[in-house]
Structure 1
Amino acid sequence: MQFTLLASLATLATLAVATPTRRGGEPASQCNTAPVQCCDSVQSADSPAASSLLALLGIVVQDVTIPVGITCSPISVIGVGGDSCSANPVCCEDNSFKGVVALGCVPVDLSL
């Protein structure tokens, strides 16, 4: 029994080390809070710039490490026409602040 458990743990450890992780963000097609946003910057909510904007807007966040997109605009259709993002393409959980800030942003890869 112990040998089987050890063999299973060794196999899992090997798979964990060998499994590649994506470094460029999730594919833009996986953003279920569409549209994908293009933000001038993405910072932690406790950064000076983000915390100042959040305070001015009266936004209280529970997690001060949540990524906040600053000065964002939507990217409507990926790969069609001229839509692109030369700054920070992100998928955000809350885009309801008219582009000033977006909450819970994760980087996306526009090429996927």
Structure 2
Amino acid sequence: MFSKLSVVVTSVLITLAAATPTTIPVTPPTSNQCCSSVVDSSSTAVGAILAKLGIDLGDITIPVGLDCSPITILGNNCGGVTTRCDAPEIEWGGLIAINCIPITL
């Protein structure tokens, strides 16, 4: 009797575990950048640059780093704003970086 009950309970638990959706948060890769400035994407200057690059952010307002270069050596040798930005799938020649949050190294 108990062996049948344990088989049924185990089967139910396995079925529930398999049916439970799991979500793994996907975050874009980030990188440390040295940017000359960080401004909102809603500014007219950034809007013009984004338009020339063919990037449409819609109504999303995010911090955009201007004139950015990757920081490869640890230390605070950045002459501008040290930031952590989303690594773009396409490189824009250091012109901009998306979603830049100022950090302290």
TM-score by length of 2: 0.64
Instruction: Select between 59-68 and 100-109 the one with higher mean Cα deviation.
Output: 59-68
Selected match of 1:68 from 56, 64, 86? 64
Gaps of 5+ in 2: 1-28
Gaps of 5+ in 1: 1-31
1:71-90 CA distance string (max 9 Å, x none): 111110213xxx61121110
Q: Percent identity between the aligned chains?
A: 41
* Structure 1 consecutive aligned stretches of length 4 or more whose deviation exceeds 3 Å: none
Selected match of 1:102 from 92, 97, 100? 97
Higher-Rg member (1/2): 2
Rounded to whole Å, the distance in 1 between the matches of 2:77 and 2:71 is: 7
The reply on whether 1:85 has 2:78 as its aligned counterpart is yes
Question: Alpha-carbon deviation of 1:61?
Answer: 1.2
- What root-mean-square deviation, in Å, do the aligned CA atoms of Structure 1 and Structure 2 show? 1.7
Answer whether contact 1:94 1:104 (CA < 8 A) is retained. Answer: no
1:42-71 CA distance string (max 9 Å, x none): 110010111110011111114531000011
Selected match of 1:52 from 48, 51, 55? 48
1:27-50 CA distance string (max 9 Å, x none): xxxxx622x111111110010111
Rounded to whole Å, the distance in 2 between the matches of 1:39 and 1:49 is: 15
The one-letter code sitting in structure 2 at the alignment partner of 1:88 is V
Rounded to whole Å, the distance in 1 between the matches of 2:63 and 2:51 is: 15
Distance 1:94 1:61, change over 3 A: farther
The one-letter code sitting in structure 1 at the alignment partner of 2:87 is D
The one-letter code sitting in structure 2 at the alignment partner of 1:91 is R
